[in-house]
Structure 1
Amino acid sequence: MPRSTRPLAAVASALVAIALSATACSEPVTENTVTASDGVTYDLSPEQSGRIQVDKVDEIAAKVPQEIRDRGTLIGTGSIGSLPPLGFYATDDTTPIGSEIDIEWLIADTLGLQLDRRTADWAQNFVKIDSGENDVFISNVTVTEERKDKYDFATYRLDNLAFEAKKDSGWTVEGRKDVAGKKIGVGSGTNQEQLLVDWNEQNAADGLPAAEIAYYQNASDYYLALGSGRIDAYFGPNPSAVYHSSSTGESEVIGTFSGAGDALQGEIAVLTKKDNGLIGPIQEAINHVIEDGSYEKVLAKWGLQSEAVSKSIINPPGLPRTAP
């Protein structure tokens, strides 16, 4: 998105307030919406009255494991606290909203289930899937070869990462050598952390200094660090970087990369416990909403059209294994 020329209203959520700091003024927006310069209006309200809904598909729903059908709910887990548009809190600072939750609802609707959306820290999401407490983990999860040992995946979005720096920082990241000696913020346990670790190893072999990796859990923390110059850039999901940079005008995207590395286009996927019988109907549900157009509407609602997939794939090649 190009830089927004509209002002941004402060909202109740402290996290969203960080993302929506004031820019040049021309006309006001309502408290619960933010309009980007490309015309996308983001609904930040807890009501989400414009949520895209679909009807149950009996043929697909019949393939859901009986225990889940009897329960009548799809129990989803994910992390909340990142910037729009993936998963964040609405203006009531309580209700999880975003593109990931909307995708979750499309799947639940198609399977004839109510969505029971829960939140947890990143590592705890895996624990809750391992224990069987939750059915699906939908929260910008990248397919990796190591994760495929324990989990099944059904893809629904391309995985693109971005380096975000202060506006007019004067540098770009085209490859690993450009981060040598820089201080880069990441989320712990993410694939972007692993990519930086790999780049540091390759740079060390070439006699280049390592990038210093700084870890952050909350958007408010890493944007404060970025604004104060305590880090040179933040390496995170491309959708959030584009949203923040275009909305505030305080930062810019200085490089984008596949989440799976140089040799493979990474993909974001629904994660389930391996061989529990759920990933098949989930993949069919995703392909159904791709075909009927509702998937495209959800991506357009959140400005993510460029990360669309043409079909969902079960357990595709993922981020390569780390060296033992």
Structure 2
Amino acid sequence: MKLTALAGLAAAVTLLVTGCGGPEQADQVQTADGVVFDLSPAQEGRVRVAKVDEIAALVPQPIRDRGTLVVTGSSNTTPPLRFYATDDKTVVGSEIDFAQLVADVLGLELDIQVADWSNNFVRVDSGEVDVFISNVTVTEERKEKYDFATYRQDNVALEVPAEGGLEYKDRTSLAGRRIGVGTGTNQEQLLVRWNEQNLAEGLAPIEIAYYQQTSDYYLALASGRLDGYIGPNPSAVYHSTTTKESRIVATFSGAGEQLQGEIAVLTRKDNGLIGPIHAALQHVIADGSYRKVIDRWSLQSEALPASRINPPGLPKKQP
């Protein structure tokens, strides 16, 4: 079976780390600091919890009758967030584990689906899916249409080639540089805003390069076609520590300089789900199962002490 570029990379890194070539070992990757990630479809270490009847009773009756929580998300992200396992078809990662905790508490079977980033919002709008769980940042613009229940801090990283010359002091360091970013993400919004501020100060423009596929920006970084890439910090840490092809030179809040961004479960506004989802997240934070997922995927720097509904988010673009 043909593996994705990610799965192939995982297998190659594992062989380098372990020094032996058993096929079963391709299911694990070890980072430079000894953290081992499970990339297998089986996910035997996934954290599960029991149904909580009083929280499950808050779920809208049509969803309870159906018995499933339909969760959409992107397919082109990287470990440890949401990615294809080594069978090239099973979606796994921390975002799936958080979704599983919520579904368990609500007494629902988890139905994981995949779509392109922008199409995930369309599917929520239409009611085709219940929630969007895929490293989604709370923004003021999104809050006009959607409800949010937070479960992680939102931190993004500037990743550069391992041998690259870019050193970061502040946004002015990016003037005249070619910087990659994902289309339609909050990272794009941050980068566009920094470019506008640089231009207002008479600096050279940032050349913004847009990417949809993780493998494409990996290749661009490795070949030097990008001076840097701004993406989720957990993925940047994973990539830089497992491949040695890149390094992280700066990290930022995903909501900008004045606000710590937060990652959240997204639902259509006022569809009755955000209350029980928030209660489920509060429950798993209190009982320790949330922390087990955080530790399993090495997300300690992004743990939250409590979930919040619709907190302040990334400000709207200025007119």
The question of a shared fold, defined as TM-score above 0.5 by the shorter chain, is answered with yes
The separation in 1 between residues aligned to 2:224 and 2:290, in whole angstroms, is 39
For residue 168 of structure 1, what is the amino acid of its counterpart?
Answer: E
Following TM superposition, by how much is the alpha carbon of 1:19 offset from its aligned partner in structure 2, in angstroms?
5.8
1:17 aligned onto 2:44: no
The separation in 1 between residues aligned to 2:75 and 2:140, in whole angstroms, is 25
Aligned residue for 2:19? 28
1:105 aligned onto 2:96: no
Of the three residues 115, 118, 121, the one matched with 1:120 is 115
For residue 4 of structure 2, what is the amino acid of its counterpart?
Answer: S
CA RMSD of aligned residues (A): 1.5
For residue 224 of structure 1, what is the amino acid of its counterpart?
Answer: L
Gaps of 5+ in 1: 1-10
The separation in 1 between residues aligned to 2:224 and 2:67, in whole angstroms, is 49
Following TM superposition, by how much is the alpha carbon of 1:172 offset from its aligned partner in structure 2, in angstroms?
2.3
The separation in 2 between residues aligned to 1:44 and 1:12, in whole angstroms, is 13
Of the three residues 193, 201, 204, the one matched with 2:199 is 204
Aligned residue for 1:3? none
The separation in 2 between residues aligned to 1:41 and 1:273, in whole angstroms, is 36
Of the three residues 61, 71, 74, the one matched with 1:76 is 71
1:194-216 residue CA offsets vs partner (Å, 9 max, x unmatched) = 11110011001110011101011
1:179 aligned onto 2:170: no
Contact 2:10 2:26 in 1 (8 A): no
The separation in 1 between residues aligned to 2:16 and 2:67, in whole angstroms, is 48
For residue 209 of structure 2, what is the amino acid of its counterpart?
Answer: A
Over 3 Å counting, the alpha-carbon distance change for 1:172 and 1:16 in structure 2 is farther
The separation in 2 between residues aligned to 1:206 and 1:107, in whole angstroms, is 47
The separation in 2 between residues aligned to 1:286 and 1:28, in whole angstroms, is 41
Gaps of 5+ in 2: none
1:280-317 residue CA offsets vs partner (Å, 9 max, x unmatched) = 11011001111111111111111111100000000000
For residue 3 of structure 2, what is the amino acid of its counterpart?
Answer: A
Percent identity over the alignment is 64
1:224 aligned onto 2:215: no
Over 3 Å counting, the alpha-carbon distance change for 1:75 and 1:26 in structure 2 is closer
Contact 1:179 1:211 in 2 (8 A): yes
1:156 aligned onto 2:156: no
Following TM superposition, by how much is the alpha carbon of 1:228 offset from its aligned partner in structure 2, in angstroms?
1.2
Matched residue SS, 1:213: strand
Q: Provide runs of 4+ in structure 1 moved above 4 Å.
A: 19-26
Matched residue SS, 1:31: helix
Following TM superposition, by how much is the alpha carbon of 1:323 offset from its aligned partner in structure 2, in angstroms?
1.7
The separation in 2 between residues aligned to 1:175 and 1:20, in whole angstroms, is 36
User: Larger deviation: 170-179 or 77-86?
Assistant: 170-179
Following TM superposition, by how much is the alpha carbon of 1:247 offset from its aligned partner in structure 2, in angstroms?
0.6
Following TM superposition, by how much is the alpha carbon of 1:43 offset from its aligned partner in structure 2, in angstroms?
0.8
1:191 aligned onto 2:186: yes
For residue 16 of structure 1, what is the amino acid of its counterpart?
Answer: A
Whose helix proportion is higher, 1 or 2? 2
Over 3 Å counting, the alpha-carbon distance change for 1:23 and 1:77 in structure 2 is closer
The separation in 2 between residues aligned to 1:28 and 1:139, in whole angstroms, is 34
1:39 aligned onto 2:34: yes
TM-score normalised by structure 2 residue count: 0.95
Equivalent runs, 1:85-104 vs 2, <5 Å: 85-104=80-99
Aligned residue for 1:134? 129
Contact 2:179 2:226 in 1 (8 A): yes
TM-score normalised by structure 1 residue count: 0.94
